[in-house]
A and B are shown apart, each in its own frame.
Chain A
Amino acid sequence: AQKITQTQPGMFVQEKEAVTLDCTYDTSDPSYGLFWYKQPSSGEMIFLIYQGSYDQQNATEGRYSLNFQKARKSANLVISASQLGDSAMYFCAMREGHSGAGSYQLTFGKGTKLSVIP
């Protein structure tokens, strides 16, 4: 089973509107972290926002917020007031916390391509 599922290969949003990018995850580990990254056409991976599994409040960073629903295992990214520069690939990722030696690498979803329309 996939650990990170992003069901929207592509999304369109009108400039200045809000958009929600979906992400569901699968883990049995009680300790984990969820990340969103933006990858513009230039290729770099830009960190947007982080949510820890024990965080009580939803994470927010400027126009980005993470709608964390733990029971539903979803971590949707909400971008408010979309801008043309938001057009990019968006990746959801998870880091699981294991006991012992641990492996804290990120597992990425396949991404959602967001296109902002003027």
Chain B
Amino acid sequence: DSGVTQTPKHLITATGQRVTLRCSPRSGDLSVYWYQQSLDQGLQFLIQYYNGEERAKGNILERFSAQQFPDLHSELNLSSLELGDSALYFCASSVGEFTGELFFGEGSRLTVL
């Protein structure tokens, strides 16, 4: 158990819909990262937050947004969903902004039908 909690574990929805994925980092970790794992793209970095502020953006679509709340939990919002958004979405956390190992949650598996 990495200590990073993600909900929901599985989600099935239809094209055009909007979903929210939730992540609670390990106790004491200030950085939260979101990753997408799909069969064709592999593991792709989406976005990083540190202590509530956005720190880095990767290959995140404009239809996707995220935030980190004062209690350090984070949410990834995916809207206008397309079939290609079906993937495993991971949240990871680390203690610092620039240091520390990244510990991943178990992922949220999104299926768009």
Contact = CB atoms under 8 A, between A and B. Distances in A.
Interface stretch (A8-16, A62-70, A71-79, A101-109): A101-109
Given A44-B107, A47-B102, A105 B2 contact: no
Given A47-B2, A97-B98, A104 B104 contact: no
A64 to B, nearest CB: 13
B42 interface: yes
Interface residues of B, number: 23
A46 B2 contact: yes
Contacts of A104: 48, 55-56, 97-98
Most buried by A among B97, B101, B102: B102
Contact of A101 (B55, B58, B105, B106): B55
Chain B at the A interface: SS class: strand
Most buried by A among B2, B90, B97, B98: B98
B8 to A, nearest CB: 14
B99 to A, nearest CB: 8
A105 B109 CA distance: 21
B108 to A, nearest CB: 10
Interface in B1-27: 2
Nearest to A91: B43
B102 to A, nearest CB: 6
Contact of B56 (A42, A45, A93, A105): A105
Given A101-B55, A105-B33, 13 more contacts: A35-B102, A37-B104, A45-B92, A47-B101, A95-B102, A102-B55, A103-B48, A104-B48, A104-B55, A105-B58, A106-B45, A106-B102, A111-B42
Interface of A: 35, 37, 42-47, 50, 91, 93, 95, 97, 101-108, 110-111
